[in-house]
Amino acid sequence: MPRIIASLVGAAFVFVLAIALFGTAKTAIQDPAPESAEHVFHLHPENIHLPSNGFFGKFDNQQLQRGFQVYKEVCSACHSLKYVAFRDLTKIGYSEPEVKAIANQWVIEQPNINPETGEPATRKNVPSDHFPSPFANEIAARAANNNALPPDLSLMTKAREDGSNYIHALLTGYRAQPAALVKEFPGSKTPQGLHYNPYFANLNIAMPPPLTSDGQVTYSDGTKATKDQMARDVAAFLTWTAEPNLNARHAAGVAAGIFLLIFCFLAWGAYQNVWRDVKH
């Protein structure tokens, strides 16, 4: 008897769920939700084909160093990189003396306590330190950025869909708001203090265009610093900060693939050897 009751209750639950699902589907078909400005005018980033893409991809250290230069001279004024230490830069081709110099000359110093007075103080960065935040706390960050909180960039390419391409598209995507958008959606005019960018989720972003002109950064390797090039390079650098072991992971994957091929060949040879005298 309890089994019959349980079966009836389960069947009733499934029946009610089916009715609800049918009603939802019917409503969606007969009375679809109106399209929003974000749905109509939002653009998806194009593939910028970084060297690290694909199964056999590898980071280009020269590009990563250019990307770090863009971060240092442009992005670090507002965005932190709290999960990256200065000494990690040796993985992208900087020597230890160069890393020491970068850490020591970094504009933002590390918070510290004066051991003699107990008062707050600062000290120079050392290679083992993580990149310091440009702001003392969230309140200071919002006060300096029109109440918007600049996100940490360490894992940004992992936090956003199509991360590397998204970073490049966002940095190069600032433009005037299309007249067609305001005409079709009168209430969608970009608010005062925000900036129109069709690659941002709601089309309006608080961050002003960080890359304003070609040559904003002077690359030490002589590469021409166009806005597109700077956006590509910093996107590559932030791909590395989010996944610094990508080269090793790809190399391990290739080695595992080769091992499996050899193992399959040996297993096939052993099979043939064991059953060679058996007549079919």
pLDDT at 34 over 60: no
Question: With contact defined as beta carbons under 8 Å apart, do 207 and 148 qualify?
Answer: yes
More confident residue, 120 or 220: 220
Per-residue pLDDT band for 27 (boundaries 50, 70, 90) equals low
The domains located in the chain, with CATH, are: 37-80+151-249 (1.10.760.10)
Q: Mean pLDDT in the chain?
A: 88
What local confidence, expressed as pLDDT, does residue 117 receive? Answer: 75
How far apart are the C-alpha atoms of 149 and 133, rounded to whole Å? 12
List the end-to-end C-alpha distance of the chain, in Å, as a whole number: 58
pLDDT at 142 over 90: yes
207 is in an annotated binding site: yes
What local confidence, expressed as pLDDT, does residue 87 receive? Answer: 97
Residue 231's nearest CA partner among 71, 72, 92, 91 is 71
Q: What is the dihedral of CA 94, 100, 102, 108, to 10 degrees?
A: 140
What local confidence, expressed as pLDDT, does residue 122 receive? Answer: 85
- The residue whose two tokens read 């590395």 is 240
44 is in an annotated binding site: no
Give the pTM.
Answer: 0.82
Question: With contact defined as beta carbons under 8 Å apart, do 155 and 241 qualify?
Answer: yes
Average pLDDT, integer, range 154-183: 93
What local confidence, expressed as pLDDT, does residue 30 receive? Answer: 54
pLDDT at 32 over 60: no
156 is in an annotated binding site: no
What local confidence, expressed as pLDDT, does residue 239 receive? Answer: 97
Backbone angles phi, psi at 196, to 5 degrees: -75, 130
Listed range (20-34, 162-176, 203-217) with the worst mean pLDDT: 20-34
What local confidence, expressed as pLDDT, does residue 3 receive? Answer: 75
How far apart are the C-alpha atoms of 141 and 133, rounded to whole Å? 10
What local confidence, expressed as pLDDT, does residue 280 receive? Answer: 56
Token pair, residue 276, equals: 């060679």
In percent, the amount of the chain with pLDDT more than 70 equals: 91
Q: Give the distance from CA 52 to its chain's centroid.
A: 14
Backbone angles phi, psi at 130, to 5 degrees: -85, 160
pLDDT tens for 65-93 read 999 999 999 999 999 999 999 999 999 99
Listed range (6-20, 74-88, 148-162, 225-239) with the worst mean pLDDT: 6-20
How far apart are the C-alpha atoms of 243 and 66, rounded to whole Å? 17
264 is in an annotated binding site: no
| β-bridge mates for residue 196, sequence order | 204
What local confidence, expressed as pLDDT, does residue 81 receive? Answer: 96
Token pair, residue 109, equals: 């110093």
Name every residue whose Cβ is closer than 8 Å to that of residue 232 and which is 6 or more positions away in sequence: 48, 50, 63, 168
Question: With contact defined as beta carbons under 8 Å apart, do 70 and 234 qualify?
Answer: yes
pLDDT tens for 245-262 read 988 888 888 889 999 999
Average pLDDT, integer, range 186-194: 86
CB atoms within 10 A of CB 172: 21
When mean pLDDT is compared over 10-14, 30-34, 133-137, 237-241, the highest value belongs to 237-241
| β-bridge mates for residue 85, sequence order | 130
Per-residue pLDDT band for 129 (boundaries 50, 70, 90) equals very high
In percent, the amount of the chain with pLDDT more than 90 equals: 60
